[in-house]
């Protein structure tokens, strides 16, 4: 993260997380999920199995599957999911989340409270908010 963002890196993750990311069940058919999500703007889906978030499937994962798969009717979401879902605490500083994203070479991280997923945070959302809305973010900085 560049220097112009550094003043915001102490903010808690809860300030910038997406509180309502799309979700799906691991047993859901990939084609059915894709059809269900056509009308919304999404880049990543949180995949649940037995009421627990187990990982993520990105739009890029789905596009690769569409291009490479010969049998598009039978594939399930659990076949594409990236596991495990890496998470940080709700009140963890953005810098901690960004460091974990760098460490694991991922662009999206889960945000939890007491081990319950509360939202997602992406590198792009942090960058975009820091560039476009610094005045909004400054209200959260404790001096």
Rounded percentage of the chain residues whose pLDDT exceeds 90: 40
Output the pLDDT for position 56. Answer: 93
Homologous superfamily (CATH) of 3-138 is CBS-domain (3.10.580.10)
Residue 70 has pLDDT above 70, yes or no: yes
Output the pLDDT for position 73. Answer: 74
Please give the Cα distance from 117 to 100 (Å, whole number).
Answer: 17
* Rounded alpha-carbon distances, angstroms, from residue 75 to 27, 50, 115: 9, 19, 29
**Nearest CA among 110, 114, 134 for reference residue 44:** 110
Task: Tell me if residue 56 falls in helix, strand or coil.
Answer: strand
Q: What is the pTM of this model?
A: 0.81
Residue 71 has pLDDT above 90, yes or no: no
pLDDT in tens, 102-111: 999 999 999 9
* For the chain, domain boundaries: 3-138
Output the pLDDT for position 2. Answer: 44
Phi, psi angles (nearest 5°) of residue 54: -105, -15
Output the pLDDT for position 141. Answer: 64
**Nearest CA among 120, 97, 95 for reference residue 43:** 120
Terminal-to-terminal C-alpha distance of the chain: 22
Residue 17 has pLDDT above 80, yes or no: yes
pLDDT in tens, 81-99: 987 899 999 999 988 999 9
Output the pLDDT for position 132. Answer: 72
């Amino acid at each position: 993260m560049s220097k112009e963002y550094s003043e915001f890196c102490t903010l808690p993750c809860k300030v910038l997380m997406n509180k309502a990311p799309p979700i799906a069940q691991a047993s859901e058919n990939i084609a059915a999920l894709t059809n269900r999500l056509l009308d919304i703007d999404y880049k990543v889906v949180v995949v649940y199995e037995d009421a627990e978030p187990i990982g993520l499937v990105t739009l890029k994962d789905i596009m690769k599957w569409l291009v490479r798969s010969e049998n598009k009717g039978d594939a399930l979401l659990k076949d594409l999911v990236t596991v495990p879902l890496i998470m940080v605490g709700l009140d963890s500083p953005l810098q901690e989340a960004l460091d974990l994203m760098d460490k694991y070479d991922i662009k999206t991280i889960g945000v939890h409270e007491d081990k319950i997923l509360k939202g997602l945070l992406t590198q792009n959302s942090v960058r975009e908010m820091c560039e476009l809305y610094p005045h909004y973010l400054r209200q959260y900085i404790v001096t």
